[in-house]
Amino acid sequence: MPQYDYDLITIGAGSGGVRASRVAAGQFGARVAVVENSRVGGTCVMRGCVPKKLLVYGAHFAEEAEDATGYGWTVDGVRHDWSALIENKNRELRRLEGVYHRLLRDAGVAVLEGRGRVVDAHTVEVDGKIHTAEHILIATGGWPTLPDIPGIEHAITSNEALDLPARPDRVVVVGGGYIAVEFAGIFNAFGSRVTEIIRAGQILRGFDEDVRDTLAAEMEKKGIRIRRECKVRSIEKQPDGSLSLLNDCDEEMVADAVMYATGRAPNTKNLGLEDVGVTLDQRGAVIVDQGNRSSVASISAIGDVTDRVNLTPVAIKEGMAFALSTFGKAPTVMDYANIPSAVFSQPPVGTVGLTEAQARAQEPVDVYLSRFRPMKYTLSGRDEKTMMKLIVSRETDRVLGAHMVGVDAAEIIQGIGIAIKAGATKADFDATVGIHPTAAEEFVTMRDPVPDPSFEHTE
């Protein structure tokens, strides 16, 4: 008789947890159960990347309709039905959830519905029922955080923003990260008057400076107001249902919705991890080694709950590495170098490798920069610029980073990411024949580096 009920219990049925569980069960024959107290599919599929991208697609039709006139189309009577968009989005999410359930079922993974809590190194309680396993995997992801200010109960997060029954006419988005700029672009494109409030001097902290400046300028051209170095002190609901914001921007702000996108925290509250000896950091993230193992040998963690690189494809690869290492007897370590990523802002951002500041901090570099209006807008007259940038090691000629703001940035950077991951040099880029006419060809036709920044030295 087996010592445990399962070989693996995974808490959290998001992208990483599902991948680890499916591979462990379907490929290696492990007895696996997944615990989930919400919808199978997790943040990305149910309340993150997928529904957000569907809204981004929908938002782009506003500009497409405007641009169509430059190509000879007559567009009359265009209007948008927000409730139809949300219902269609929800229908697609229901379909995807069914797909995820089937994938788990076909792999032989049991789904335990309810709130999971770790009781000891080999025991998980799910809504009062005890289950045991040789291995426990924590894959509970992250959750939006809200500041402790008066009236914060009137604010929403990205979770609620995806399911608003009606589009608010006036929206204040608080935060300058990728979620904030993405939703600012969505609401703005659909016709809301959007103000984005950030505490810093510029959006997208941690991104390349040219990316930050270019995107902010393009957002402002589209009508989004960015209030920099500003902080909300309180939110008060008015008799007419609107929201009044007290801030230190020396400006009165009234909105129909206030969305906070000021950060996410690892979802470890009430999981019982600390009680069984699992070490968490100050933010509540599970501290793991390169093999995803926590301080308790039988308990591992992957994805956003570890607060390493919080991207869905990373969680999936970590899940695969865990399954291969634990059940496939093939120790596998995730490589976190040169991970491509995108921001589905308007215009979008694609990036891979080092920023210019990071690269200059480690070695002398050459920087190649190009700005241009995409060919798509030559007939429509839209005033939107694309920015492309390469950072190259002066000693080795290796391309250390690539960054883009503009149409199709995410699609283009995916291919550039392969080249950079493979160690391509600027000479390799130069030797590559461009596809003409495309924006992507600019990455292989930039020949002259920009002048090095000058520094004034004072005695």
| pLDDT score for 452 | 87
Averaged pLDDT, 359-364? 98
Task: State the catalytic residues.
Answer: 436
42: left (phi over 0), alpha (psi -120 to 50) or beta: left
CATH architecture of the domain with range 152-262: 3-Layer(bba) Sandwich (3.50)
- 459 has pLDDT over 90: no
Question: CATH topology of 6-144+265-326 equal to that of 152-262?
Answer: yes
Question: Are 119 and 108 contacting, i.e. CB atoms less than 8 angstroms apart?
Answer: no
For residue 32, is pLDDT > 60? yes
CA count, 13 A, side-chain hemisphere, 350: 22
Phi/psi of residue 80, nearest 5 degrees: -125, 140
**Mean pLDDT value of segment 357-384:** 97
**What is the rounded distance in angstroms from the CA atom of residue 373 to the CA atom of residue 174?**
30
| pLDDT tens profile 269-309 | 999 999 999 999 999 999 999 999 999 999 999 999 999 99
For the chain, give the mean pLDDT: 96
Tally Cβ neighbours within 10 Å of residue 169: 13
Q: How confident is the model at residue 454 (pLDDT cuts 50, 70, 90)?
A: low
Helices (H), 48-177: 49-68, 82-107, 158-161
Please tell me the number of Cα atoms within 13 Å of 158 on its side-chain side: 29
Residues 243-262, mean pLDDT to the nearest whole number: 94
Q: What pLDDT sits at residue 298?
A: 98
Confidence of residue 179 (pLDDT cuts 50, 70, 90): very high
- Using DSSP bridges, classify how beta strands 193-197 and 341-343 pair: parallel, antiparallel or unpaired: unpaired
pLDDT higher than threshold 90 for residue 6? yes
The span from the CA of 23 to the CA of 317, in Å, is 11
Pairing of strands 6-11, 386-393: unpaired
Q: What are the residue boundaries of the structural domains of the chain, listed by start?
A: 6-144+265-326, 152-262, 341-444
Place 458 in a pLDDT band, splitting at 50, 70 and 90: very low
**Running DSSP on this structure, what letter comes out for residue 444?**
G
Residue 18 pLDDT? 98
Share above pLDDT 90 across residues of the chain, in percent, rounded to a whole number: 96
Is a pLDDT exceeding 60 seen at residue 455? no
Query: Number of helices and strands (H, E) in the chain?
Result: 11, 21
Q: Give percent of the chain with pLDDT exceeding 70.
A: 98
Predicted confidence band of residue 457 (pLDDT cuts 50, 70, 90): very low
- The CA distance from 2 to 8, in Å, is 13
In 196-336, which ranges are continuous DSSP H helix? 209-221, 312-326
Entry pTM: 0.96
| Phi (first) and psi of residue 440, to 5 degrees | -60, -30
pLDDT in tens, 101-139: 999 999 999 999 999 999 999 999 999 999 999 999 999
Average pLDDT over residues 373-398: 97
d(Cα 316, Cα 198) in Å, to the nearest integer?
Answer: 31
Task: Give the pLDDT of residue 100.
Answer: 96
What's the CATH number of domain 341-444, 3.30.300.30, 3.40.50.2300, 3.30.390.30, 1.10.1060.10?
Answer: 3.30.390.30
Rounded CA-CA distance 309/321 in Å is 15
Distance CA 152, CA 142 (A): 20
Backbone angles phi, psi at 378, to 5 degrees: -70, -35
Which of the four CATH numbers 3.40.50.1000, 3.65.10.10, 3.50.50.60, 3.20.10.10 does domain 6-144+265-326 have? 3.50.50.60
Helix H, strand E, coil C: the string for 336-386 is: CCCCCEEECCCCCEEEEECCHHHHHHHCCEEEEEEEECCHHHCCCCCCCCE
Of the pLDDT bands very low, low, confident and very high (cuts 50, 70, 90), residue 388 is very high
pLDDT tens digits, one per residue of 34-84: 999 999 999 999 999 999 999 999 999 999 999 999 999 999 989 999 999
- Residues 146-171: pLDDT tens digits? 999 999 999 999 999 999 999 999 99
Distance between CA atoms of residues 20 and 324, nearest Å: 9
Residue 423 has pLDDT above 90, yes or no: yes
